[in-house]
Amino acid sequence: MQGDAALTGPARRTGARAVLVEPYLVFWRHRRLLVDTVAHTLRSRFAGSILGLGWLVLGPVILLGLYALLYTVVFQIRPSGLSIEDYIFYIFAGLLPFIAFGQALAGGAASLASDRALLLNRVFPAELIPAREVLAAGAFLVVGGGLVGLFKLAVGGASLAWVLLPVLMLLLAMATMGVVWALALANLVVRDVQQLVSYIVIILLIASPIAYTPDMVPGSLRVLLYANPFAYYVQSFQSVLVLGRLPAPEILAGCLVFALVGFHGMHWVFSLGKRIIADHI
């Protein structure tokens, strides 16, 4: 079939190199092409709008205002130990990785099935098609995180813990790519997968400590909170951005483990599954 060479690539590498090194080599070799396609994806997403890429800034501002109104005026929730302003930022800092994750899942799950032309391209590796959606969704996270930082600076809330933000963003991107690679492959075989994504996102929204702190969860249910891999990233962003402190060691360890296992493990699975791609395009 046309494009098989592009999908399977050079002779398949085996052993530790295939799992540990190859994912980084793929991104490095095609870094310029990947940057161009991510930029094109972002421009296409806002094509025809008056503000264009300005929505990357306006969107988070609107979201911050809506949640500030909802939780401080309508629900009137006041977690102990947090001022009203910090609680608003606390919610927003939890929403940022969640929204980026949700956008990546929505676009990435359908990416292989909807971009057949790029999938058959001999230059662009198949695994970078879902990865492109993850990186494009990350733009919202970067801009939103910058806005929270500016607001915190304005009220004198800067912290040295912020230096960890790029690391957290990288770990979240790696973990998200692992999930998206799995969903994109599965969606080629069963197209219902992309329909399920929105429900998966809703479940994660409820199960993640975005508008509530872990201390507000009853002890008997707290185990469910930590069974949710995404909760580790939410708590990490909230700790660093808003509370100005490093995440607890077990939370940071969870972020690292899920990122490395998801990224390396699912890239290996995706490499093995390229034959599935060839059979379903």
For residue 135, name the pLDDT band (cuts at 50, 70, 90). very high
For residue 280, name the pLDDT band (cuts at 50, 70, 90). low
Q: Strand, coil or helix: what is 263?
A: helix
Question: Is a pLDDT exceeding 80 seen at residue 145?
Answer: yes
- Tokens 């972002």, residue located: 42
Q: 198-209 pLDDT, tens per residue?
A: 898 888 888 888
Contact in structure between 193 and 186 (CB atoms under 8 Å)? yes
Long-range contacts of 82-86 (CB under 8 A, 24+ apart): 82/213, 85/155, 86/242, 86/243
- Tokens 């999938």, residue located: 119
Question: What mean pLDDT, rounded, does the chain reach?
Answer: 84
With a CB cutoff of 8 Å and minimum separation 6, the contacts of 2 are: 120
The two three-digit tokens of residue 244, written as one number:
């100005």
> In the predicted model, what is the mean pLDDT of residues 150-172?
88
Contact in structure between 20 and 264 (CB atoms under 8 Å)? yes
**Angle made by CA atoms 57, 63, 64, in degrees to the nearest 5:** 90
Share of the chain above pLDDT 70, in %: 91
> In the predicted model, what is the mean pLDDT of residues 178-196?
91
Instruction: Provide the pLDDT for residue 5.
Output: 44
- Report domain extents, the chain: 4-279
Instruction: Provide the pLDDT for residue 101.
Output: 93
* pTM for this predicted structure: 0.87
Instruction: Provide the pLDDT for residue 281.
Output: 64
For residue 10, name the pLDDT band (cuts at 50, 70, 90). very low
Contact in structure between 97 and 237 (CB atoms under 8 Å)? yes
CA distances from 235 to 47, 80, 244, 252 (A): 34, 16, 12, 9
Contact in structure between 194 and 187 (CB atoms under 8 Å)? yes
Compute the distance between CA of residue 126 and CA of residue 138 in angstroms, rounded to an integer.
20
> In the predicted model, what is the mean pLDDT of residues 242-253?
93
For residue 91, how many other CB atoms are within 10 A of its CB? Answer: 24
Compute the distance between CA of residue 98 and CA of residue 205 in angstroms, rounded to an integer.
7
Instruction: Provide the pLDDT for residue 18.
Output: 67
With a CB cutoff of 8 Å and minimum separation 6, the contacts of 162 are: 149, 240, 241, 244
The whole-angstrom distance between residue 188's C-alpha and the CA centroid of its chain comes to 21
Q: Strand, coil or helix: what is 65?
A: helix
